[in-house]
Amino acid sequence: MDDEALPLAGIRVVEFSHMVMGPSAGVILADLGADVIKVEPEGGDQTRTLLGSGAGYFPMFNRNKRSICLDLKSESGLQVARKLAARADIIIENFRPGTLARLGLGYGALAADNPGLIYCSAKGFLAGPYEHRTALDEVTQMMGGLAYMTGPPGRPLRAGSSVVDITGGMFGVIGILAALERRHRTGRGGEVKCALYETTAFLVGQHMAQKAVTGEAAQPMPVRMSAWAIYDVFETARDGEQLFVGVVSDGQWKSFCDAFDLTDLGDNPDYALNNQRVLARDIIVPQVRALFASMLREELVSKLDLLGLPFAPIVRPDELFDDPHLTASGGLMDVTIPGGEGTRLPGLPIEFDGQRLGLRHDIPLANQDAEAILREIDRCN
């Protein structure tokens, strides 16, 4: 897609952020066409050098951005930051509460010179008794009930991705785009705040509603009472090849039983309706497990695909590099990671006018675009 045709072409974002939540908001806006200037401390964002599970944070969430390094404790660095903010449509920051305000880079100070500014703060908590606490994705997964729901009883387990950081960033983008639309009507900017804890609460809201409806607290996912009898991971004939299968309607149940010659189950009127099958799960599921354990996964996949039933082979994230759908559809974006090696990482999961959003700027080196950015703000003086 031509740069000028991108939805947010012409929108300038200045991002004072690190780790995942702020950068995830920034990369969404960047992929959508905004000019995102990432402000890093001198020497570069420390997220660049994380090890272990943090090693993928910077490469995944900082493409399509330009980098400038500033010392915000110096007057010269602050002067550049204020110039950038004065010409920005959007600011994103995820420092601890009050940090940027103490430097004169809070919403009130910047909006005085730029009343159309949209200022998004990504925090641990929205206003309330917890708002001054330090939070991380894992902290709020634990205190917000998500880890309880993910792990088996007595063993809370964080989700296998920075799901709250990323989803929290997405909610920040929703707020930013809503403020941008209001600015189109009124000319007025505004302050948007998104937070990890409230995002976690939103994610587990369905389980809170379940308690309100049924009177019983939701059980952790590994021991929950499923809404459907066949909605589980099954072993297949070849060791290590597992398959998730869901049968979620009465019509699907009939098709499933016919296709797999489960006539005793399919013709039994006691199992004709979904809720009947849920209550008879201890009878139905062992028979299906035994059948699937005698078949190869590729055989099951072929059959389930023809039936149009929900299914999914269980795969590791690294296996997605060679996923035929992502490869054919442009779902993986070519980028250069530290050390100069090329790889492919998932793009924004959106199509515009039948096209995926692509790479305009590779992952920047620290301070890579400083000279160009400084020339731009000097020209505007």
CATH, domain range 3-203+323-379? 3.40.50.10540
Compute the average pLDDT of residues 255-284: 96
Mean pLDDT of 324-339: 94
The whole-number pLDDT of residue 125 equals 98
**Cα(159)–Cα(297) distance, integer angstroms:** 26
Over residues 305-333, the mean pLDDT reads 96
Residue 371 in this model has a pLDDT that exceeds 90: yes
pLDDT (mean) for 214-241:
94
Does 381 score more than 70 pLDDT? no
The pLDDT of residue 366 is above 70: yes
Per-residue pLDDT of 277-310, as tens digits, reads: 999 999 999 999 999 999 999 999 999 999 999 9
pLDDT at 174 over 80: yes
Q: Which of 251, 307, 245, 257 is nearest to 274 (CA)?
A: 251
In sequence order, what are the beta bridge partners of 232?
Answer: 245
Residue 149 above 80 pLDDT?
Answer: yes
Cα 197 to chain centroid distance, Å, stands at 15
How does residue 3 score in pLDDT terms, banded at 50, 70 and 90? confident
List, for residues 49-83, the tens digit of each pLDDT value.
999 999 999 999 999 999 999 999 999 999 999 99
Mean of the per-residue pLDDT values of the chain: 96
| Phi and psi, residue 65, nearest 5° | -120, 160
Evaluate if residue 315 carries a pLDDT over 80.
yes
The Cα–Cα gap between 140 and 196 comes to 6
The pair of three-digit structure tokens given for residue 289, joined into one six-digit string = 């497990």
Chain center to CA of 296: 33
Q: What is the pLDDT of residue 188?
A: 96
- Tell me: pLDDT of 225 over 90: no
Contact 22, 92 (CB under 8 A): yes
CATH number for 226-315: choose from 3.40.50.300, 3.30.1540.10, 3.30.70.2660, 1.10.3720.10: 3.30.1540.10
Please say if the pLDDT value at position 344 is more than 90: yes
Asked if the model's pLDDT at residue 379 lies above 90, the reply is no
Sign of CA dihedral 103, 105, 110, 113: positive
- The pTM is what? 0.94
Contacts by residues 289-292 (CB-CB < 8 Å, ≥ 24 positions apart): 289/234, 289/235, 291/260, 291/262, 292/234, 292/235, 292/236, 292/243, 292/245
Q: What is the per-residue pLDDT across 84-129, written as a single tens digit (0 to 9) for each? A: 999 999 999 999 999 999 999 999 999 999 999 999 999 999 999 9
Distance CA 240, CA 140 (A): 33
Percent of the chain predicted with pLDDT > 70: 99
Buried b (16+ CB within 10 A) or exposed e, 308-341: ebebeeeeeeeebeeeeeeeeeebbbebebeeee
Q: Is the pLDDT confidence value at 340 over 70?
A: yes
Domain boundaries, the chain: 3-203+323-379, 226-315
The candidate with the shortest Cα–Cα distance to 311, out of 222, 237, 226, 233, is: 233
- CA nearest neighbour of 139 among 160, 120, 165, 121: 165
CA 22 to chain centre: 12
Amino acid of residue 261? D
pLDDT at 42: 95
Mean pLDDT of 167-175: 98
